[in-house]
Amino acid sequence: MREVSIVGFGQTKVGEHWDRSLRHLAGDAVLAAMKHAGIERVDVLYVGNMLSGVLTGQEHLGALVADFVGLRGVEAVKVEAACASGAAAVRQALIAVASGLAEVAIAVGVEKMTDEVGSSVTSGLAMAADADYETAHGLSFVAINALLMRRYMYEFGYRREDFAGFAVNAHANAVNNPYAMFQRPVSAETFARAGMIASPISLLDSSPICDGAAAVVIVPSKQARALTDKPVRIAASATATDAIALHDRPDPLFLQAAHDSAYKAYLQAGIQPKDVALFELHDAFTIMSALSLEATGFAERGRGVTLALDGEIRPDGRIPIATMGGLKARGHPVGATGVYQIVEVAQQLRGEAGANQVPDAHWGMAQNIGGSGATIVTHILETSDS
Amino acid sequence: MREVSIVGFGQTKVGEHWDRSLRHLAGDAVLAAMKHAGIERVDVLYVGNMLSGVLTGQEHLGALVADFVGLRGVEAVKVEAACASGAAAVRQALIAVASGLAEVAIAVGVEKMTDEVGSSVTSGLAMAADADYETAHGLSFVAINALLMRRYMYEFGYRREDFAGFAVNAHANAVNNPYAMFQRPVSAETFARAGMIASPISLLDSSPICDGAAAVVIVPSKQARALTDKPVRIAASATATDAIALHDRPDPLFLQAAHDSAYKAYLQAGIQPKDVALFELHDAFTIMSALSLEATGFAERGRGVTLALDGEIRPDGRIPIATMGGLKARGHPVGATGVYQIVEVAQQLRGEAGANQVPDAHWGMAQNIGGSGATIVTHILETSDS
């Protein structure tokens, strides 16, 4: 396995793209990434997506996107792991290059959630959970997360207002990200007054329904310098799974797969949590931010929320998260999210994060979660000036 | 990239499994394959599937199946390429082992088509085509193939009865395959009288709607002999794509991606079409058999049907196809089909095909087609006595 690096990326603004279809969004991101990397040749394309079948009646996105961007003929395939589909596609792309199978691979994540030609988004998202033993009994995906948050508050003695820091940080960072859906701040007071979705989860605990696509270009590290002055090395990539249904996990408040994939990644990169300058975690709901911080070594059990209360998650804090807005404010087009996270880590490590720049960022981590924690994919990136 | 071999496989009978859910079918195949290979450890699981989202409201099959078969925690992901999802999953599994990332990988293809909790199977299958420019205009998937068959008959001067040989051969072979859906022969006379689905495609030109799952265990070739006396080497694996919509192809009657992926595979294996002892092709419709034989070097343009008329596709013919029943008579549980094909080639190369054994089979080829030809995955397997 040879070392691989990211030499280009592209992203669409996240939002409600009523004038852009799924193929247009994916195409915009892929073509932007190819232009950014200065390449015309691509050997293989991996498409991360969860919902195109049920929402727009379109599967077979590998061939669809390859054809649309002018890459007709190249190997192309779709990868699905619920909301972790984006990072799963990146992982397949890097394996293709690291193995020597391909010299240039692109991973694109795309989701078009505002078209509901088929099912509703709510029933679509519930496909990430156990259809027979959770969904069939009436649990929506937000309801599953509400059960987790309620239990967390009970176990560790928090009020729902204590989770405000996650939303406040995400929105503050999104203000400076032109690709973010919500480029406006929210206050703790606004958070406290937000309408309930599934108690104790409010609108401002939740990431939005939205459209978007992001793409990265991956090549062998040895070829990277010829393409860009700022290659970003992929130092680690790891996937772990867990029980798909919440009730099958010995301790629902511990994200075992987040722990397992993160610690596999730390080992691959040869680093420890304290070396991570920023962490693009999967803040689909505020409770997920807390659980992720705890499972990956940044907070003790029950103390993830405290990090937010103490301001340690801000760009100038101990472990910056959601530095470009996160799922909460940049937006969460589910199959695209994992690629957005990696693009944003790359921006930080290249020193291109503008007002949100984390100082002296050398290692950055991205973690993408499928379902309520059943598939978790972790990547660690490194600046190339090492 | 190191050499890899198949050391075990498992399959469920194809049919209408009203008593088995998607996870049960996948589990049956995976556990049978693990038992067959004599292994308990698996490093990564790839699940090939197309329709679980729209038909049963379940995505996230990687984690679902891993958990259900007792592999909770291992890396697992779903791969989708329409009806080529099965072979695409096998390809990812072999890349994982060939690259050194995994020592033991399983690819399982699974489809549960008889549950229609969500959409109908007909609208589900149409997701393999172009939703905006084919499906939205009323073309079902069988209608797309009917256009191809009609044009082929016009161009090359065949009657629909001339296609009977494909169905007759497939059904004759399925009689001896206990895993086949239709273990009964059909005659050319029955074929001629079959009811029309979308003229000129009749019921007996078409593969059935059905349920099934098949799995293969892949390890490095160097470790294969320790597990089985009959490892089957994967000598070649290649994917190519084409325009997703039929009307975007310069010559709709030439399967460019079938040609491209097959010739990449011949090059990898260092063989020519004449060296292939049997060819498990993608006979979803009889027209696809003819076009596949022509694109992959076994027949001149317009002569694929002649091979069937002359009996050259039977187990004792020049290029045996559908040796265990093919998609037509073994059945076509779409996301599983590509894995069934590879299992059947392995059976042939191990000399375990019973009454359908192709004599002196050393090289065998399997080709799995997504959509009307937009994604095509070809594998060439070799006996281990070389």
Q: Is the pLDDT of residue B3 over 60?
A: yes
In the DSSP assignment, the letter for residue A358 is P
pLDDT of B207 reads 98
pTM score, whole prediction: 0.98
Q: Is the pLDDT of residue B115 over 90?
A: no
Please report residues of A whose CB lies closer than 8 A to that of B126.
57
Shortest Cα distance, chain B CAs vs residue A179, angstroms: 27
Please report residues of A whose CB lies closer than 8 A to that of B57.
123, 126-127, 131, 135
pLDDT of A385 reads 65
pLDDT in tens for each of the 386 residues of chain A? 999 999 999 999 999 999 999 999 999 999 999 999 999 999 999 999 999 999 999 999 999 999 999 999 999 999 999 999 999 999 999 999 999 999 999 999 999 999 877 678 999 999 999 999 999 999 999 999 999 999 999 999 999 999 999 999 999 999 999 999 999 999 999 999 999 999 999 999 999 999 999 999 999 999 999 999 999 999 999 999 999 999 999 999 999 999 999 999 999 999 999 999 999 999 999 999 999 999 999 999 999 999 999 999 999 999 999 999 999 999 999 999 999 999 999 999 999 999 999 999 999 999 999 999 999 999 999 998 65
Integer angstrom CA distances of residue B372 from A52, B252, B284, B287: 19, 9, 10, 11
List the catalytic residues of A. 83, 332
Q: Is the pLDDT of residue B26 over 90?
A: yes
Mean pLDDT of B33-38: 98
CB-based contacts of A194, cutoff 8 Å, min separation 6: A202, A203, A204, A205
Vertex B139 angle, CA B133 and B144, to 5°:
100
Q: Is the pLDDT of residue B386 over 70?
A: no
Domain ranges across chain B: 4-117+209-224, 138-206+236-329+338-381
**3-state SS assignment for residue B7:** strand
pLDDT of B385 reads 66
Q: Is the pLDDT of residue B116 over 80?
A: no
Check if B4-117+209-224 and B138-206+236-329+338-381 are the same fold. yes
Q: Is the pLDDT of residue B17 over 90?
A: yes
Tell me which H or E stretch contains B11.
strand B4-11
Residue A19 burial class via C-beta count within 10 angstroms: exposed 0-12, middle 13-18, buried 19 and up: exposed
Q: Is B241 in contact with A66 (Cβ distance < 8 A)?
A: yes
Q: Is B54 in contact with A54 (Cβ distance < 8 A)?
A: yes
Superfamily the domain B138-206+236-329+338-381 falls into: Thiolase/Chalcone synthase (3.40.47.10)
pLDDT of A301 reads 98
Q: Residue B43: how many CB atoms within 10 A of its CB?
A: 17
pLDDT tens digits for range B137-176: 999 999 999 999 999 999 999 999 999 999 999 999 999 9
Of the candidates A67, A81, A95, which has its C-beta nearest B99's C-beta? A95
Shortest Cα distance, chain B CAs vs residue A147, angstroms: 20
User: Quick check: B149 and B287 in contact, CB under 8 A?
Assistant: yes
Mean pLDDT of B324-345: 98
Q: Is B54 in contact with A118 (Cβ distance < 8 A)?
A: yes
Q: Is B57 in contact with A92 (Cβ distance < 8 A)?
A: no
Shortest Cα distance, chain A CAs vs residue B119, angstroms: 8
User: Quick check: A366 and A378 in contact, CB under 8 A?
Assistant: yes
Rounded Cα gap, residues B120 and B125, in angstroms: 9
Residue of B nearest to A378 (CA): B75
pLDDT of B383 reads 96
**3-state SS assignment for residue A350:** coil
pLDDT of A152 reads 98
Size of interface A-B (CB pairs under 8 A): 204
pLDDT of A154 reads 98
Is the ipTM above a cut-off of 0.95? yes
pLDDT of A119 reads 75
Please report residues of B whose CB lies closer than 8 A to that of A240.
73-75
Give the closest residue to B48 by CA, choosing from A242, A379, A62.
A62
Q: Is A73 in contact with B131 (Cβ distance < 8 A)?
A: no
pLDDT of B119 reads 75
Tell me which H or E stretch contains B279.
strand B278-280
Fold type of domain B4-117+209-224: Peroxisomal Thiolase; Chain A, domain 1 (3.40.47)
Mean residue pLDDT across chain B = 97
Q: Is A127 in contact with B53 (Cβ distance < 8 A)?
A: yes
